[in-house]
């Protein structure tokens, strides 16, 4: 430990403030004490303030009647339900817009990112313009633009924009025909599941056979045919037990069909377009990170072009793409909380907004809301870490 010329008598230990381990221990104890004192101070203040305002703490309010309606809900909800149920409704709405946003953003992002690398000059420039425009404008501004300037400016129900007399778009939202399933329809999801299981078995068997004998079937195409063809066959064989409930204009509004509220549309569009600009950049840099020598080496082994992409370029590019892609997905889900600005009933809007205002239980409500986002973040990053470990480079 000591580097200096030893001036101490032999056998005597250095003073404790010169010993790195002891110093670290003391410092950490002091830090812990400081943090604990700070937390106690805050807790004390909170208790004083709450008792001064006559607010009781605890989660009992979750079983009180909410008394307000929610415009979109995936589960049955009415204003007679409890605050606990509003939490659930908000959470499901957040997950809904997050899930659809991730799908759309990934699709647009990959298309734009690949287009940016296109040999076609015009296409590459258009993709660049898309990226530079949308990622440099605040998301909230884009949400406002889509909501107030586009969707709120649409005509009223009587003058709706009609697409083939089945889709209608007006200021109240997008009206779609809704499938109504008749008695024999239960067979089709069952067939669908069976087809998926069969495809998984086929893919595994095909991989084993390929490794053992070198022979392979076009398993992907066969499974696609199974998954989509088999239910279709059953559908036709049972005489198409589905009727479509097409929305119809009655009086001042549409009846029937399925409605997507404009708040959802605006939020979904803005989130997807904004995040797609970032994903496109990630995809571009991921593909560019793979050196051209990899492609050339694969071609030298006379792999066909589709296999060069599938077996050489894409697996390596994915390794670069996935970590930043994960953080974009998380950003998208966190950004969906901007819903509160246009009144889409997501978790923050319904729970940290209306419920908080009605009950005044600020600490419980904000803690629950933050806990949800933290849990989603942790789950997604755990899944992505697992996936990342699977595709990571195995160095020998």
Partner 1 sequence: MIHNQTMINQRPAPTNTIGPLAWLRANLFSGPINTLFTLIGLYVLYLLVVPTIQWAFINADWTGTTREDCSREGACWVFVKARFSQFMYGLYPRDEVWRANIVFAGFFALIAWLAIPRMPFKRWVAVLALVGFPVAAYVLLHGGYFDLPRVPTHRWGGLMLTLLLASVGMIGALPIGIVLALGRRSNMPIVKSFCVIFIEFWRGVPLITVLFMASVMLPLFLPSGISVDRLVRALIGLTLFQSAYMAEVIRGGLQAIPKGQEEAAAALGMTYWKRMGLIVMPQALKMMIPGIVNTFISLFKDTTLVMIIGLFDLLGIVQAALSDSNWLGFSIEGYVFAAFVFWIFCFSMSRYSQYLERKLNTGHKH
The binding site for partner 1 (CB under 8 A) comprises: 3, 24, 27-28, 31-32, 35, 42, 45-46, 48-50, 52, 118-123, 126, 132-133, 135-142, 144-145, 148-149, 153, 334-335, 337-338, 340-341, 348, 352, 356, 362-363, 366, 369-370, 373-374, 377-378
244 beta partners:
179
Handedness of CA 17, 19, 25, 27 (dihedral sign): positive
Nearer Cβ to partner 1, position 53 or 390?
Answer: 53
Cβ neighbour number for residue 331 with a 10 Å cutoff: 16
Distance of CA 121 to the CA centre of its chain: 32
CB of 391 to partner 1, least distance (A): 22
Residue 19 corresponds to which tokens in the numbers above?
A: 């010993």
CB of 75 to partner 1, least distance (A): 23
* CA R_g for the chain: 29
CB of 109 to partner 1, least distance (A): 17
d(CA 295, CA 297): 5
CB of 6 to partner 1, least distance (A): 16
d(CA 311, CA 293): 14
Nearer Cβ to partner 1, position 106 or 337?
Answer: 337
Cβ neighbour number for residue 355 with a 10 Å cutoff: 26
Residue 109 corresponds to which tokens in the numbers above?
A: 């992002």
Nearer Cβ to partner 1, position 319 or 334?
Answer: 334
Nearer Cβ to partner 1, position 31 or 392?
Answer: 31
CB of 279 to partner 1, least distance (A): 15
CB of 49 to partner 1, least distance (A): 5
Nearer Cβ to partner 1, position 137 or 303?
Answer: 137
Nearer Cβ to partner 1, position 223 or 349?
Answer: 349
Nearer Cβ to partner 1, position 301 or 370?
Answer: 370
Nearer Cβ to partner 1, position 119 or 251?
Answer: 119
CB of 34 to partner 1, least distance (A): 10
CB of 92 to partner 1, least distance (A): 17
Residue 347 corresponds to which tokens in the numbers above?
A: 């978790």
User: What is the 3-class SS of 282-312, one letter each residue?
Assistant: HHHHHHHCCCHHHHHHHHHCCCCHHHHHHHH
Distances (CA, A) of 161 to 2, 53, 173, 350, 382: 83, 52, 11, 31, 44
User: For the chain, how many residues are written?
Assistant: 396
d(CA 167, CA 164): 7
d(CA 293, CA 288): 12
CB of 178 to partner 1, least distance (A): 32
Nearer Cβ to partner 1, position 149 or 240?
Answer: 149
d(CA 259, CA 168): 9
d(CA 291, CA 316): 10
Handedness of CA 329, 332, 334, 337 (dihedral sign): negative
Nearer Cβ to partner 1, position 327 or 388?
Answer: 327
CB of 148 to partner 1, least distance (A): 5
Strand 248-250 and strand 253-255: pairing?
antiparallel
d(CA 209, CA 260): 47
């Amino acid at each position: 430990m000591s580097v200096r010329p030893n001036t101490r008598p032999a056998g005597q230990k250095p003073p404790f403030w010169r010993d790195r381990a002891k110093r670290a221990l003391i410092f950490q104890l002091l830090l812990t004490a400081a943090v604990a004192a700070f937390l106690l101070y805050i807790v004390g203040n909170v208790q004083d303030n709450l008792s001064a305002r006559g607010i009781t703490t605890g989660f009992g309010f979750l079983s009180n009647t909410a008394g307000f309606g929610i415009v979109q809900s995936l589960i049955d909800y009415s204003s007679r339900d409890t605050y606990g149920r509003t939490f659930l409704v908000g959470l499901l709405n957040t997950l809904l817009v997050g899930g659809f946003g991730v799908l759309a953003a990934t699709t647009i992002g990959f298309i734009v990112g690949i287009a940016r690398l296109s040999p076609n000059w015009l296409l590459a420039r258009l993709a660049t313009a898309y990226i530079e425009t949308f990622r440099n404008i605040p998301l909230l501004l884009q949400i406002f633009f889509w909501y107030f300037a586009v969707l709120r400016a649409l005509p009223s129900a009587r003058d709706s924009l009609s697409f083939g007399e089945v889709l209608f778009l007006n200021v109240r939202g997008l009206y779609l025909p809704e499938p109504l399933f008749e008695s024999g329809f239960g067979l089709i999801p069952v067939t669908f599941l069976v087809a998926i299981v069969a495809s998984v078995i086929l893919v595994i068997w095909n991989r084993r056979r390929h490794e053992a004998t070198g022979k392979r079937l076009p398993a992907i195409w066969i499974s696609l045919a199974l998954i989509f063809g088999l239910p279709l066959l059953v559908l036709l064989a049972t005489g198409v037990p589905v009727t479509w409930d097409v929305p119809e204009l009655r009086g001042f509004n549409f009846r029937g069909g399925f409605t997507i509220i404009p708040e959802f549309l605006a939020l979904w569009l803005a989130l997807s377009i904004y995040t797609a600009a970032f994903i496109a950049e990630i995809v571009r840099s991921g593909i560019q990170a793979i050196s051209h020598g990899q492609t050339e080496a694969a071609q030298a082994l006379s792999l066909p072009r589709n296999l060069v992409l599938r077996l050489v370029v894409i697996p390596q590019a994915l390794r670069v793409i996935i970590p930043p892609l994960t953080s974009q997905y998380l950003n998208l889900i966190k950004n969906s909380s901007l819903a509160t600005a246009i009144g889409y009933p997501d978790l923050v809007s319904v729970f940290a907004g209306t419920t908080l205002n009605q009950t005044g239980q600020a600490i419980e409500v904000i803690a629950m809301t933050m806990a949800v986002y933290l849990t989603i973040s942790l789950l997604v990053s755990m899944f992505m870490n697992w996936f990342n470990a699977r595709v990571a480079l195995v160095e020998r």
